[in-house]
Structure 1
Amino acid sequence: MNSEDEIRQLEPQKPVYLELNFQIVCAISLIAVLGVSSVTPAFPSLAKALKIQPQNLGLLVTAFTLPALVLGPVIGVLADRIGRKKIIVPALILFGIAGTACGLVRDFNLLLFLRLLQGIGAAPLLSLSTTLIGDLYTGARRMTAMGYNASVSSIGTASYPTIGGALATLGWFYPFLLPIVAIPIGLIVFLGLKNPEPKGDRNLQEYLTNAAKILKNRRLFGLFIASAANFVLLYGAYVTYFPQLINDTFKAPASVIGILLSSVSVAIIISSSQLGRLARIYPATNLIQISFILYALALAIVPFMPSIWFLLIPTTIFGIGLGLGFPSIQTLLADLAPKEYLATILSVNGTFFGLGQTLGPVLMGIAFSIGGINSVFYTGVGFAILIFFVFRYLTCTRG
């Protein structure tokens, strides 16, 4: 360590949330979670306007999420070799242009193509925003930054459906114009982000060989499994079938369903904002294990709630689990990954949670077809308990 680094460490540090670099990272994260939740409220009116069968509307989500599943490892390799900004800035510009264009077309096939392009722009954003935190922070400040970033993302996922729904009352295409904000954010990243970039002078074959060896680490694999499991439970039991239970059991209107769905994001914001403090007391592996216990508890009690507002109990427990678990997984991945392979590791993780998003509704759909709505939540309980033990075996035992 040179004298300049020593002086910098001795200087008082701003709170993480006041640093410009961190604020730019949060802006990237807010764009990363914009593409689905802001436009789904417009789907019913879109189907009527474009004369589309409702069962085909899911293609608008699939076209958007597919690139992240396919391109994850490639994005990581490129970001580790040529730099983060050289990937993030063009991605934001593409997201903004293709996304805004979606609001200007009136042909469904062209809309699907533009959603695919927008998805290509979105693909690097979530994993590379986390990579930037890994680049910029270490130790307790890294965990604090991960927690704050998760809180900000949750604010986005909680508010975008409301914003999109309000805009959709003016016309189905208005929510699709929101991505235009990604273009100025791309310029802010280009001009304002001060991030240590990789040198990019390594032999590609050697790089890929070493990266493959690192990815064989059983602790990393355990974290990848836990990351995918988070999204199996979130997108399978919660996003897809929890609204169905509310409607079938309590005959609640859409506005009430929206409030209950948003309560999870509120719980995530509260718990993840305290992650820095909790990390000083509990190891990250313990927090991840606790998260799966909370998932199992929350899903187990859902079928027994006597009235609709009692559902706030399991949604709050589930949200606390997400607020503790997901940022802790990201932090541990950043801690375990060698600096020169950080983007690759986190992008592979992005592929795993894309896999979870895809498999979750399928797995829970099978459970629903076999045993009805309650079986979805009992399957979720069993799955959460299974992942608890798998994760514990892979990360907390020698071998």
Structure 2
Amino acid sequence: MENKKQRDLASIATIPLTMTLANSILIPVLPSMQKAMGISAFQSSLLITSYAVIAILFIPITGYLSDRIGRKKVILPGLLLVAASGAFCGWAAVAIDKPYALVMTGRLFQGLGAAACFPVVLPLVGDLFKKEEDVSSGLGIVETANTFGKVLAPIIGSALAMWTWYMPFWFIPVFSLISFILVAVWVKAPKDKKPAVPFKTFVHSVVSLFREKGRWIWGVYVSGGINMFAIFASLFYLSETLEERSIHGIVKGCLVAIPLVALCTTSWAIGKWIGQKKKLMKWICVIGFLEAAGCLLFLSFGGRDTLWVIITLLFAGSIGLGAALPTLDALLTEGIEKEQRGTVTSFYSSIRFLGVAAGPPLAALLIEQSKSSLFWVLTACCFVAAVIALITIKPKSN
């Protein structure tokens, strides 16, 4: 990797770290929020979902804008909006007796800011490097930062919740403003000397791209969405299980973080290793999803009475999911031309956010029926993702 661009990449990596913290930091605090605001488990899960839903709607727009006006011009306002919305949620929690509606509003605006941030990171990394192996390594670092945020989030969230339930809202602006300064000062995105493509021509080129490569692109899209759904649904289950067993605070945060350590470490290792070996990327994806499905299948049959069994199997399953993340990113980013990269990867990010949005509320609804039903659904989803990756992703034709 080019040494002079390592600082740029480190600054870019703070964006997914911040966006993950802005959402996942609330997961261990949801039970406390339920009690403080007098809401149900389903309503508290919507605080996670609302952030993702609004991002889903606006990500394609921000992806297109990043292709037209530049990546930083989209990312920096997004980071400021995430910071301002976090402060608004914190203020509402302090100033209003029943703040749920205002907190939900703040989370929606925060999702809008997120729509301008993480989805633009993938094409920005693709723009930054000329060699495909450097792009793969960079994307691995980005996914590592993303998953490292998930590792830190339950620990930080639990620690802040010991102070008061709304304190995580006040820390989101801190993370966002640090990222804003680093990106503004250090990231030097390459300037595109080509003239802007007319909108109609651009749309026609994207439509033609999907006609030509749509099968494998949609395969990556769906697999990525399932990956996020499995991660966030299992995290919600683990958080609720620990709460039922009266495990709170830092201990709870550390236990929730254990499967995420596997996710983070595997994403980093695979990103460093795969280079430009596209055939290998496909098989890592398939095997990763099958391995996750096997672990979740075991939990479908039982073994949920013992906490260490649950955590061990979620840890093992997270290794498979973590292996799939950077390979899907690399397949998509390296397979698309720079001029269309922002738009195409933005749809990918939308579907990933859809998985994030669906995870907690669907997990809450399924747990009400039976815990086995949640794991049967997750097992089926991971198996389907493996089949989709096997059938649709054909590196030779990419």
TM class by shorter chain equals: 0.7 to 0.9
Deviations 1:281-336 (A, max 9, x none): 76211111111111112112234547432334322221211221011111111011
Report deviation, 1:46.
4.2
**1:166 aligned partner, one-letter code:** A
Say whether the 8 Å CA contact 1:81–1:200 is kept in structure 2. no
Give distance in 1, aligned partners of 2:385 and 2:30: 34
Say whether the 8 Å CA contact 1:82–1:200 is kept in structure 2. no
Give distance in 1, aligned partners of 2:151 and 2:50: 22
Query: Gaps spanning 5+ residues in structure 1: where?
Result: 1-11
Give distance in 2, aligned partners of 1:380 and 1:188: 38
The structure whose Rg is larger is 1
Deviations 1:339-389 (A, max 9, x none): 10111111100111122233445665676566x222322332233222222
Give distance in 1, aligned partners of 2:314 and 2:283: 21
Deviations 1:50-90 (A, max 9, x none): 55555533343233222211012111111101110110011
Q: Report what 1:132 is aligned to.
A: 124
**Inter-CA distance 102–367: structure 2 relative to 1 (3 Å threshold):** closer
Report deviation, 1:102.
1.7
Secondary structure in 2 matching 1:196: coil
Q: TM-score, normalised by structure 2?
A: 0.86
Deviations 1:12-65 (A, max 9, x none): 84397xx11111111111111122222344444445555555553334323322
Q: TM-score, normalised by structure 1?
A: 0.86
Deviates more, 1:168-177 or 1:348-357: 168-177
Deviations 1:241-292 (A, max 9, x none): 34556677xx463466544431121112221222245315762111111111
Say whether the 8 Å CA contact 1:245–1:373 is kept in structure 2. no
**1:175 aligned partner, one-letter code:** P
Matched residue pairs, number?
382
Q: Report what 1:61 is aligned to.
A: 48
Secondary structure in 1 matching 2:329: helix
1:389 matched to 2:387? The reply is yes
1:308 matched to 2:300? The reply is no
Deviations 1:92-145 (A, max 9, x none): 111112212221223323322222212211112221122221111232222212
**Inter-CA distance 32–192: structure 2 relative to 1 (3 Å threshold):** same
**1:286 aligned partner, one-letter code:** W
Q: Report what 1:99 is aligned to.
A: 86
Question: Residues 1-399 of structure 1 correspond to what in structure 2 (within 5 A)?
Answer: 13-14=2-3, 19-52=6-39, 55-105=42-92, 106-107=95-96, 108=99, 109-137=101-129, 138-181=131-174, 182-198=176-192, 199=194, 201-216=196-211, 217-236=214-233, 238-244=234-240, 251=245, 253-254=247-248, 258-280=253-275, 283-302=280-299, 303-305=301-303, 307-360=306-359, 372-396=370-394
Over the matched positions of the two proteins, sequence identity in percent amounts to 24
Say whether the 8 Å CA contact 2:49–2:358 is kept in structure 1. no
Give distance in 1, aligned partners of 2:11 and 2:202: 29
Report deviation, 1:172.
2.6
Query: Gaps spanning 5+ residues in structure 2: where?
Result: none
Give distance in 2, aligned partners of 1:42 and 1:266: 20
Give distance in 1, aligned partners of 2:156 and 2:242: 23
